[in-house]
Chains A and B, each alone.
Chain A
Amino acid sequence: MALRARLLLPLIILAGCETLPRDAFRLSESALATREMQTREYASMSDTEILSASTAVLQDLGYAIDEVEEPLGVLSASKRADATSGIKAVGSLAMDGVKCIFSFLRACDGKNYSKLDDVQDIRLTLISRPQLDNEENVVVRITIQRVIWDKKGRLSVQQTVTDSSVYESFFDKMSKAVFLEQEGV
């Protein structure tokens, strides 16, 4: 027993203190591809015009602006949104129902349903800067993160959004806003 305790203690202490992953401050192999996915160039626009168009897009999408620093071209915004999925909800309810019936009403805790994603907090940063080798163009890069909470308010997922379709969809809207900005609409 004593020996087992001696072996267990360091493990428990280590488990109590999570360690920083070695790659936390290193560029991943996909960093370049990710940068391309998150970046667009706009010709003949100033930083300020881009920031103004970006603010309009974010408002279109229901975001609140948390931080703007014009001299650095920084814009951060966030919103809380629904994270539920209809199909998953139906599936979980069905599983809970089956479990409840087969346990003769002893396991009707709705556990599957309570683990479902409920709401998500989305945060994004947009940074615009003049293109380094051609100051007439502006380079815009966005990064998006989200935290998803389950039905019981527990943390479900926290992640950086890497789905390229999200960025494409955002930049589509951005292009329209830039057009409107240039036309003065």
Chain B
Amino acid sequence: MRIFAGTLYMVFLSACASNNAAITESGSQVQVRQIQTRTYDTLDKRDTLRSVLATLQDLGFVIDKADYELATISATKLQDYQIRMTVTVRERGGERLDVRANARFNESTVEDPLAYQDFFAVLDKAMFLTLHNVD
């Protein structure tokens, strides 16, 4: 019984992550980028970043860092859980911008494509309103 309890405890501790593996993570970088990136047909970096900010505020985030030059925004959402997120905007040839978002939920990386789809669905709307000057 004691061994059984000990085994359960070990399983519980090892269920989520090990120490060093968490630093570099595993999995396909290319796939992760695809899930986390959406391309928009605009070259307006400022409006895109403003749409990202509006989206993050709509979703209940507080902004930790925002840098216009580097087009990077980091934000935190606190509810019964914690989500930290970084969103970057980069020019991608052909008059388009790539918006990439990566999120951490408590102690783990958000890998669920549906979560990013949800995020970009909200951003799509904000982008539409901003680019068409509708308040």
Determine the distance from Cα of A125 to Cα of B57 in the docked complex, in whole angstroms: 9
Determine the distance from Cα of A124 to Cα of B61 in the docked complex, in whole angstroms: 9
Determine the distance from Cα of A131 to Cα of B112 in the docked complex, in whole angstroms: 35
Please name all residues of chain B whose beta carbon is closer than 8 Å to the beta carbon of A38 when the two chains form the complex.
57
Q: Is the CB of B53 within 8 A of A127?
A: yes
A5 interface residue (CB < 8 Å to B) = yes
Interface size band for A: 35 or more
Of all chain A residues, which has the CB nearest B119? A25
Select B78's contact among A17, A69, A160, beta carbons within 8 Å: A160
Determine the distance from Cα of A121 to Cα of B135 in the docked complex, in whole angstroms: 33
Q: Is the CB of A12 within 8 A of B12?
A: yes
Determine the distance from Cα of A16 to Cα of B78 in the docked complex, in whole angstroms: 20
A111 interface residue (CB < 8 Å to B) = no
Tell me what chain B mostly uses at the interface: helix, strand, loop, or mixed: mixed
A183 interface residue (CB < 8 Å to B) = no
Chain A, residues 3-26, CB within 8 Å of chain B (1/0): the string is: 001001100110111101100111
Chain B nearest CB, measured from A74 CB (Å):
4
Please name all residues of chain B whose beta carbon is closer than 8 Å to the beta carbon of A27 when the two chains form the complex.
58-59, 122
Looking at the complex, which of B23-31, B34-42, B90-98, B126-134 is the stretch in contact with chain A?
A: B126-134
A159 interface residue (CB < 8 Å to B) = yes
B2 interface residue (CB < 8 Å to A) = no
**Chain B residues engaging chain A, CB cutoff 8 angstroms:** 4, 8, 11-13, 15-16, 46, 49-50, 53-54, 57-68, 75-83, 103, 105-106, 108, 110, 112, 115-116, 118-119, 121-122, 129-130, 133-135
Supplied contacts A8-B8, A143-B61, 15 more A-B pairs, CB within 8 Å:
A9-B11, A16-B15, A18-B81, A18-B105, A20-B112, A26-B122, A27-B58, A67-B66, A74-B63, A123-B62, A123-B76, A127-B54, A132-B133, A143-B60, A158-B80
